[in-house]
C-alpha cells in the first residue's frame, strides 16, 4: 500500500505525550520515530472505548456495501465534489434543565436522530450548496436503511458499508438547556470505527476537489490504516486533505505526540478551542492555533461563541466573529462549521471568507436540536447493492 510521508501509525498502545514534548515538536524539533505498516485488528465485541470492538476475525465477510448515486465526474483532482470519510451514528439527544439528579429521575425531552461527525459534515456541506457530496461510512444492519435515507434526504450520496458483526454506533447526547445548551457525550462507536482500507475505492475520488477525514477514524487501528490509504490516494491526485480532531477526550487517550505524527501531510486542520489547546499545551487559543499552523499549512480553530481563528505559517491571520444565536443544542455545531467551510472553499472562497460561512452555519445549527441541517423534502437517489468479498 502506498503511504504519504507522515501518515504513519505509532506503536501499539496509547502514548500520552506531555505538552512540553508536543510544543517542542511543533517548534520544529525532530520527531521521534514511529513504527509503520498496516496492522489489522482481530478480536470481537463492541464497547465504549474508542479502541474496542474494532476488528474482525480473519476470513470473515465484510457484509453488504450499499452505494447511492455512484455516477461521478471524470478526471483526477480539481473537481467540485467533496468526499467525507467518517462516522455515521445514531444520536439519542436528551435535553434537560439544570444538573442531573443522581440516583433518581431527571425530566428530559429525548429524541433519536441521525448523527456522526463525518455524516454531519457531509450534510451541512450539501445544505450550504456543495453540489456533489459523498460519504464513506460503516453502519450496522439494524439501521442501515434509515441512515441511508436520511443522508439522501440531505443531498448526500452515501457509500455505506453494512457491517454484519457490529451495530451502528450510538451516542447519548446530554444537553443542559440551562447551561448555554452545552452537551456531554456518552459514545459507543460501534461499526463506525471498523472502517478499514478494504472499504476504500479509488473511484470515490473521481471528480473530487477536497477530501475530509473525521478525526474519529484515528481512534482505531483499522481507521488509522484507512486514513493512510485515503490520504495517499488523495495526494497522488493533488486533492487537498482536511481533518477535524473530533474529540479532546479521545485525543488524550490516543496521545498528543501520536496524533501530531498521524496528521503530518494534512493540508487543513479544524480543531475546536479545547483541542487546539490540548494539542499544543498552550492555554491561549490564538497562540495554540498559531503554533499548530507551523505543523499543518492551514489551521482554522473553532471558538464557539467567539467565532473562529485562521492561522498560517505560525501566525493568526484572521479572527472571524461569531454570528448571534439563541442556542437550543450545540451538538454538531462544529460539524456545521466544517461542512460550510469546506463547501465555501470549493467555490473559491479564501480561508477567512470560508470561516465566516462556517460561523453562519454554526449559528443555524445551535438553534436546532441534533447535528443535522433541515433536510429538503423529495430528495431521491439511485441505490445499487453489492456484496463485498470475504477477507
CATH number assigned to the domain with residue range 78-88+116-162+193-373, chosen from the 4 options 3.40.50.720, 3.40.1410.10, 3.40.1190.20, 3.40.50.1980:
3.40.1190.20
Query: Higher pLDDT residue, 34 or 362?
Result: 362
| DSSP symbols for 23-42 | HHHHTTPPPPP---S-----
Query: Higher pLDDT residue, 307 or 41?
Result: 307
d(CA 284, CA 382): 48
Which element (helix H / strand E) includes 354?
helix 351-366
Burial of residue 70 (number of CB atoms within 10 Å: 0-12, 13-18, 19+): middle
d(CA 305, CA 45): 39
pLDDT, residue 7, reads 41
Residues 139-159: tens digit of each pLDDT: 999 999 999 999 999 999 999
Compute the chain's Rg from CA coordinates: 19
pLDDT, residue 217, reads 96
pLDDT, residue 183, reads 75
Q: What integer best gives the mean pLDDT of the chain?
A: 81
pLDDT, residue 78, reads 63
Strands of the 298-302 sheet, one edge to the other: 315-320, 308-312, 298-302, 268-269, 241-244, 208-214, 81-85, 133-140, 156-163, 64-68, 383-387
Residue 18 has pLDDT above 60, yes or no: no
Place 43 in a pLDDT band, splitting at 50, 70 and 90. Answer: very low
pLDDT, residue 88, reads 98
Place 59 in a pLDDT band, splitting at 50, 70 and 90. Answer: very low
Place 248 in a pLDDT band, splitting at 50, 70 and 90. Answer: confident
Residue 27 has pLDDT above 50, yes or no: no
Q: Domain-by-domain residue ranges, the chain?
A: 78-88+116-162+193-373
Amino acid at each position: 500500500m502506498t503511504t504519504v510521508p507522515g501518515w504513519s501509525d505509532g506503536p501499539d498502545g496509547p502514548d500520552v505525550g506531555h505538552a512540553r514534548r508536543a510544543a517542542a515538536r511543533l517548534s520544529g524539533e525532530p520527531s521521534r520515530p514511529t513504527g509503520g505498516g498496516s496492522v489489522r485488528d482481530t478480536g470481537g465485541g463492541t464497547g465504549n472505548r474508542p479502541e474496542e470492538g474494532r476488528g474482525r476475525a480473519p476470513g470473515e465477510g465484510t457484509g453488504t456495501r450499499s452505494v447511492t448515486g455512484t455516477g461521478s465526474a471524470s478526471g483526477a483532482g480539481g473537481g467540485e465534489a467533496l468526499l467525507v470519510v467518517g462516522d455515521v451514528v445514531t444520536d439519542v439527544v436528551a435535553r434537560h434543565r439544570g444538573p442531573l439528579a443522581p440516583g433518581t429521575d431527571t425530566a428530559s425531552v429525548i429524541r433519536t436522530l441521525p448523527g456522526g461527525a463525518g455524516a454531519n459534515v457531509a450534510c451541512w456541506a450539501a445544505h450550504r450548496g456543495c453540489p456533489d457530496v459523498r460519504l464513506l461510512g460503516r453502519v450496522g444492519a439494524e439501521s442501515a436503511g434509515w441512515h441511508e435515507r436520511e443522508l439522501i434526504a440531505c443531498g448526500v450520496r452515501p457509500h455505506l458499508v453494512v457491517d454484519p458483526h457490529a451495530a451502528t454506533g450510538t451516542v447519548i447526547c446530554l444537553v443542559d438547556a440551562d447551561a448555554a445548551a452545552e452537551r456531554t457525550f456518552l459514545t459507543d462507536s460501534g461499526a463506525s470505527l471498523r472502517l478499514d482500507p478494504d472499504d476504500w475505492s479509488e473511484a470515490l475520488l473521481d471528480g473530487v476537489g477536497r477530501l475530509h477525514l473525521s478525526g474519529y477514524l484515528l481512534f482505531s487501528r483499522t481507521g488509522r490504516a484507512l486514513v493512510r490509504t485515503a490520504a495517499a490516494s488523495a495526494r497522488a491526485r493533488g486533492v487537498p486533505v482536511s481533518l477535524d480532531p473530533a474529540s479532546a477526550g479521545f485525543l488524550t487517550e490516543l496521545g498528543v505526540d501520536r496524533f501530531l505524527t498521524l496528521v503530518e501531510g494534512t493540508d487543513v486542520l479544524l480543531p475546536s478551542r479545547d483541542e487546539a489547546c490540548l494539542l499544543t499545551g498552550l492555554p491561549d487559543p490564538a497562540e495554540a492555533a498559531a503554533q499548530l499552523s507551523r505543523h499543518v499549512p492551514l489551521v482554522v480553530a473553532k471558538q464557539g461563541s467567539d467565532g473562529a481563528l485562521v492561522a498560517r505559517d505560525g501566525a493568526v491571520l484572521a479572527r472571524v466573529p461569531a454570528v448571534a444565536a439563541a442556542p437550543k443544542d450545540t451538538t454538531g455545531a462544529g460539524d456545521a462549521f466544517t461542512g460550510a467551510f469546506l463547501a465555501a472553499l470549493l467555490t473559491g472562497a479564501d480561508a477567512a471568507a470560508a470561516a465566516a460561512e462556517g460561523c453562519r452555519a454554526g449559528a443555524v445549527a445551535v438553534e436546532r436540536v441534533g447535528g443535522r441541517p433541515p433536510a429538503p423534502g423529495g430528495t431521491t437517489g439511485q441505490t445499487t447493492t453489492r456484496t463485498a468479498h470475504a477477507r
